[in-house]
Amino acid sequence: MSRAIGVALPIPVDKVYAYELPGELEESVQVGSLVLVPVRTRTYTGVVTELDVQVREGMRLRTVRATVSHEPLFDPELLQLTRWISRYYVCAWGEALSAALPAGMQTKERIVYYLASESDLHWVGISPELQVHLMKHRRTTPAKLKRIGLRISEQEIIRAESQGALRKTVELQEPTVGMKTGEFISLAPAFRSVDALRDLKPQFRGKKQKEIIDQLISFLESGQNEISLPEIRKACGASRQTVRSLEKRGIFSVIEKQVFRIPEWMRSEAIPSSKAPHFHSSQAVAAKALRDAVRTETYQTFALHGVTGSGKTEVYLSALETTLSLGRTAIVLVPEISLTPQTVHRFRARFGDTVAVLHSRLAQGERHDVWQQIRTDRYRVVIGPRSAILAPVKNLGLIIVDEEHDGSYKQGETAPRYHARDVAVMRATMAKCTCVLGSATLSLETLVNAQQGKYTLLSMPERAPTKDRPAASLPVIRIIDLCHEREENGLSGPLSTPLLDAIESRLQRKEQVILLQNRRGYAPILECQTCGFVPQCIACSVSMTYHQGENQLRCHYCGYVRNLPDDCPKCETPAFAPLGSGTQRVSEELGELFRTARILRMDRDSTRTKDAHHEILSVFAEGGADILIGTQMVAKGLDFGRVTLVGVINCDLGLRLPDFRSEERTFQLLMQVAGRAGRADLPGEVLLQTRRPSHPIFSFLQAHDFHGYAQILTQHRQKLNYPPFGRIVGIQIRGAPQPAVEDLANEWKILLLDQLPSTISVLGPERPYIKRVEHQYRYFLIIKAPKTYHSLQEDIRSVLRMAPSTGRELHVSVNVDGLEQV
C-alpha cells in the first residue's frame, strides 16, 4: 500500500496537489520536506504540507519522483505563516513557500529556443540581429536574449515556431546550489597533541612529510579543531602520495565532511566590541518599554517614532540584548540599501558572530549555507531585507523593522506580493513575541494603528547628545523658489545661487555636502530642437534617458540601450539637446563650477558592481570626498558627522505622480534626506529647491512637524477611503495584443462587480501613465473596499477561478494593499 501526500507547488494555482508516495520514499518524507513531482509534462520541487490526504475513490494519482531534502526544511510556524501570506496576498501557498527558500534550491525549468532551419528565418520577420545571434549560437534562452538587449515578442516566437524556423523546448535545470563537502584530516587519538606530533617528526626522513607534521602542529597550536586537507596541501605543496604515506602509518585518516560557505567577514571573530551609551531620557523610556515587553514573552507591537539621529539603533540593541539573554532569537529587517557594512558592524560589535546577514550580495552558495545554519540554530540574530522575515529562525523573541515606512518592504513585481512589515506583525502574533516598527517618518498605516491602540507608540522627539551638546539640533530648512530664481536671477541650470553659495561655504570650511536628485542619468530626455522629436523605447511607451558618459540612450523600465544617433531620425538635423537634469548632469555641472571639489555620485548606474555602493560610502565616510550626489539612495540611514549641508535639486519630482501614496513618499524622502545634516557637533542646513514653494509640505518640513503633516495626509485618506481607512487591491492585466488585454480587463471588471457586494467599488480599467513595458500592454483595475469587509480576498480568489484562463500571452496579477506595479 502506498500513501497519498499533499504537496504545495510554486505555480500560480491555488491548491495543494495530492501525490502517491512510493514505499521506498516513506522514511524520508515528512511535513516540510522538499519533493520532486510531475505536473502534466513538467517537473517541480514542492513542499510537503500534509501526510495522509483524503483522495476520491478511484482517482489515479501520480507518484512522487524523489525527495530533495532529507529533513523538513519548514517548521510548523513557517508553514502557518506562508499559508497566511498565500491567503492574504492571494497567491498559491507554494509561491509563498518558495519565497522563503534561498534561491537555487528548487529544480527549475527553463525555456530554450533552438534554431530549426536557417533559411526560413528570413521569412518570418525576425530581426536581423536576432538572426545573427541564432545562427551563431544555434540555441538561446529568453534570459540570454534579455541580457544582450535583443527583444523578441511572444507573437514573433509563435510565428517562427509555426513556420518551423524555431523550436521551443522546456528543459529541466538541476538545483544550482546544495551542500558542499570537503576533505578533512582526523588525527588518530594517539597523535592529538602537539607533543606527540613533535616526537613523531624525527621518524620521517621526507622533507614534505616533516612539513605536513609541522602544519599539523601549528593547526593544533592555533586551537583549530578542523584541519582542512586542501589547506594543508596548499601550505606545503604536498602531493596526494605524501598525504597517503602518513595516512598509511596510522597518523590520521582523511574524512569527508560538509563545509559551510560563510563569507569571511561574517566568520571572523575579531570585532571590536561596543558598549551601550548612556541613554538620553526618551531613549531610556523606549528601551525599557521594549525590554519589559520582550520579558513577557507575549505578542505586542510597538511603533517607535524617533526623529533622525535620535538613537533608534541603540534602542534596538538594548531590546536585542534582553532577547538573547532569555535564550530567544531575533530578526532585524532593514531596507536593502541601508544594509551597509556600517549598519551590520553596529550589530556585530555588540553580539559578535551570532549575527547572520542575509542579503542579495551574498553568493548563491553562501546564502544557501547561511540559511541552513540559521535553520539549525547556529545564529541568534538574523539581519536582512524584506525576505529575511521568512528566515527559518526558531524560538523568536523579537522582530525589528527599521525604517518601517520604506517602500522596498513591499514586493510588487512577483508573487507573493507581500509587505514584510505586515508579515512581521503576523509572525510576531504567531510566535508570541515583541515586534518593533521604527522610523522617523512612520507610515500612515502604522501611525493610525498606533492611534487606534493596536500598537503602542513610543516617541523620541530629540536627537542624541554629542560630545559638546546635550542634544544635536535638527537642521535649519530653507526653501528656494526656482521660478523666482529663474525670473529674477536668470537661473538656467539645475543649481540656484543660494545653493551654490551654501556649497561654496562648506567647501571652504572642509565640511561635507549631500545632494539629492531623484532621477538618474544625464538628462531625463533628449529633444530635437528643430522638430521636437523625443527618442522613445521600442518596447515601452516611455522616453529614453540620456547617459552622457557612454553617449547612450537607455530605457529605465526594460534596460534597452541604443547609441545616440547623430541626427534626429525624424527631421534629420543634428539638433538633439538635453532637457532637465539627472544625477550625471548635476555632478558634471558641479565639477565645472567647483574644479577642486571631490564629487561622488551614487545611483543605480554608479553602483552596478558588487561592492560599489559600499566603496562610495566608505570613501565619503573617511572624508575622501566633499560632495555626495545621488538618487534616493543617499537619503537612507547615512550617519556622517561632517555633513552640514543637504540640498535637494528638485522637490517636485515626486509630488505629481498618480499614486495616492506619492505625497506621503515625498514627505518621507525629504524628511529623511534632511535628517542626514548636522547629526553631530556641527549644525546642519537643508536647502530645498522647488517650483511650488507654497505647497503645504514645505512649512511642515521647515517646522520638523511630522505629526502635523501626517494629520493632513491622514484626513485626506480618510475622506477618500484610502488605506489605512479602507482597503485597496490593484489588479493588473498585461500582455499583447492590446485589444485582448483590454477585453480581459473589462471581463474582470464584470466578474468582480458580480462577485462583490455593491458597497465595494471597482475603478477602471485604466491605462497607467506608462502604457506599455517590454512589448506588453498594461491595464489596471482598483478595488476599494471598506476595512470591515473581510471576505475580499476570498471573493477575488473565486473570480480568479472563474475568469478565462490566461496562458502565455495574457497575465493577471493581484496586488493586495498596493498599487506599486500599476
Give the footprint of Zn ion on this chain (CB under 5 A): 537, 539-540, 555, 557-558, 560
Distance, CA of 754 to CA of 751 (rounded, Å)? 5
Q: How many C-beta neighbours within 10 Å does residue 670 have?
A: 25
Q: Decide which of ligand ADP, Zn ion, none touches 314; Cβ closer than 5 to 8 Å per partner kind.
A: ligand ADP
367 contact partners, CB below 8 Å, separation of at least 6: 102, 103, 177, 358
Sole binder of ligand ADP in the list 99, 252, 293, 314 (CB under 6 A):
314
Are 770 and 541 contacting, i.e. CB atoms less than 8 angstroms apart?
yes
Binding mask 173-192 for ligand ADP (x = CB under 6 A): --------------------
In the complex, what is the shortest distance from the CB of residue 470 to ligand ADP, in angstroms, rounded to a whole number? 10
Binding status of residue 340 toward ligand ADP by CB under 6 A: no
Q: Which is nearer to Zn ion, 146 or 797 (CB)?
A: 146
* 311 contacts ligand ADP (rule: CB under 6 A): yes
State yes or no: residue 684 binds ligand ADP (CB under 6 A): no
**Residue with smaller CB distance to Zn ion, 558 or 819:** 558
Beta bridge partners of 781: 731
Closest Cα partner for 420 from 356, 358, 327? 358
CB of 143 to Zn ion, least distance (A): 17
Q: Taking the complex as a whole, how short is the minimal distance between the CB of residue 280 and ligand ADP, in angstroms?
A: 5
Question: Could you tell me the smallest distance in angstroms from the CB atom of residue 622 to ligand ADP?
Answer: 16
- Binding at 537: pick from ligand ADP, Zn ion, none (beta carbon under 5-8 Å per type): Zn ion
Of 462 and 603, which CB lies nearer to ligand ADP in the complex structure?
462
Cell 548606474: give the residue: 605
Closest CB to ligand ADP among 232 and 317?
317
Max Cα distance, the chain (Å): 94
Closest approach of Cβ 677 to ligand ADP, in Å? 12
Rounded CA gap, 546 and 522, in Å?
5
| Piece in contact with ligand ADP (CB under 6 A), picked from 36-44, 114-122, 308-316, 423-431 | 308-316
The smaller minimum CB distance to Zn ion, of residues 540 and 814, is found at: 540
Residue 767 contact among Zn ion, ligand ADP, none, beta carbon within 5 to 8 Å by kind:
none
Report the distance separating Cα 383 and Cα 386, nearest Å.
10
Buried/exposed 678-695: b ≥16 CB within 10 Å, e otherwise: bbbebebbbbbbbeebeb
Nearer Cβ to ligand ADP (154/336) = 336
CB-based contacts of 725, cutoff 8 Å, min separation 6? 448, 717, 718, 787
Between 547 and 636, name the residue whose CB sits nearer to ligand ADP.
Answer: 636
**Using CB under 6 A as the criterion, what x/- string covers residues 707-746 for binding ligand ADP?**
----------------------------------------
From the list 154, 354, 350, the residue with the least C-alpha distance to 267 is 354
The partner residues of 48 in beta bridges, in order of sequence, read 7
Do residues 560 and 538 touch, judged by C-beta distance below 8 A?
A: yes
Closest residue to bound Zn ion by CB:
555
The interface with ligand ADP within residues 267-286 (CB under 6 A) comprises 277-280, 283
Residue 260, φ and ψ in degrees, nearest 5: -105, 130
Backbone angles phi, psi at 728, to 5 degrees: -125, 150
User: What is the smallest separation between the CB atom of 703 and ligand ADP, expressed in angstroms?
Assistant: 19
766 contact, one of Zn ion, ligand ADP, none, CB 5-8 Å limit per kind? none
Q: Annotate each residue in 90-129 with x if it binds ligand ADP (CB under 6 A) or - if it does not, as one string.
A: ----------------------------------------
Considering the complex, state which of residue 32 and residue 637 has its C-beta at the smaller distance from ligand ADP.
Answer: 637
Nearer to Zn ion among residue 538 and residue 571 (C-beta):
538
Nearest distance from residue 389's CB to ligand ADP, in Å? 20
**Choice between 276 and 363, CB closer to ligand ADP:** 276
Give CA separation, 216 vs 193, 223, 238, 255, in Å.
10, 11, 13, 15
Amino acid at 640: F
Q: Which of 133, 208, 312, 613 binds ligand ADP (CB under 6 A)?
A: 312
State the minimum distance, in angstroms, from the CB of residue 774 to Zn ion: 6
Give the Cβ contact number of residue 157 at 10 Å: 19
Site size for ligand ADP (CB under 6 A): 16
**Contacts with 635 (C-beta within 8 Å, 6 or more apart), sequence order:** 516, 669, 672, 673, 676
When the beta carbons of 280 and 547 are compared against ligand ADP, the nearer one is 280
Q: Work out what residue 309 binds among ligand ADP, Zn ion, none; the CB cut-off runs from 5 to 8 Å by kind.
A: ligand ADP
Alpha-carbon distance of 487 to 310, in angstroms, equals 40
Q: Which stretch binds ligand ADP (CB under 6 A): 255-263, 312-320, 450-458, 624-632?
A: 312-320
Measure the CA–CA gap between 252 and 184, rounded to whole angstroms: 10
Give least dist CB 770 to Zn ion, A: 9
Cβ proximity to ligand ADP: between 221 and 681 the closer is: 681
DSSP state of 659: S
Distance CA 24, CA 46 (A): 19
Binding-site partner at residue 540 among ligand ADP, Zn ion, none, CB < 5 to 8 Å by type: Zn ion
Place of cell 496576498: 89
Residue 606's binding partner among Zn ion, ligand ADP, none (Cβ under 5 to 8 angstroms by kind) is none
Name the one range near ligand ADP by CB under 6 A: 204-212, 226-234, 301-309, 811-819: 301-309
Which residue number, 431 or 437, has a Cβ lying nearer to ligand ADP? 437
Chain Cα centroid distance, residue 378:
24
Question: What residues numbered 445-474 form the site for ligand ADP, per CB under 6 A?
Answer: 464-465
90 burial level (CB within 10 Å; 0-12, 13-18, 19+)? buried
CB 701 within 8 A of CB 651: no
Instruction: For strands 545-547 and 525-528, give the pairing.
Output: unpaired
Q: How far is the CB of 635 from ligand ADP (least distance, A)?
A: 12
Q: Which residue is nearest to ligand ADP (CB)?
A: 311
Radius of gyration of the chain (CA): 30
Q: Which does 682 bind (CB under 5 to 8 A by kind): ligand ADP, Zn ion, none?
A: none
Select the residue interacting with ligand ADP from 313, 587, 606, 668 (CB under 6 A): 313
Q: How far apart are the first and last CA of the chain?
A: 51
Beta strands, E only, 427-490? 434-439, 456-460, 476-481
Based on CB atoms, which residue is closest to ligand ADP, 149 or 277? 277
CB 584 within 8 Å of CB 547 = yes
Residue 113 forms beta bridges with which residues?
140, 168
Helix (H, G, I), strand (E, B) or coil at 483: helix
CB of 80 or CB of 466, closer to ligand ADP? 466
Selected from 639, 743, 766, 820, the binder of ligand ADP by CB under 6 A is 639
Whose Cβ is closer to ligand ADP: residue 185's or residue 442's? 442
464 binds, among ligand ADP, Zn ion, none (CB under 5 to 8 A by kind): ligand ADP
Taking the least distance from each CB to ligand ADP, the nearer of 621 and 729 is: 621
CA distance 212 to 235: 9
Q: Please identify which residue in 310, 443, 668, 672 interacts with ligand ADP, judged by CB under 6 A.
A: 310
CB of 545 to Zn ion, least distance (A): 10
Residues with Cβ < 8 Å from 561, sequence gap 6 or more?
A: 149, 552, 553, 554, 555
- Angle, to 10 degrees, between the axis of helix 76-88 and the axis of helix 93-100? 130
| Residue 664 and residue 443 in contact, taking contact as beta carbons nearer than 8 Å | yes
Spatial contact of 346 and 317, defined as CB atoms under 8 Å apart = yes
DSSP 488: H
Residues binding ligand ADP (CB under 6 A): 277-280, 283, 306, 308-314, 464-465, 639
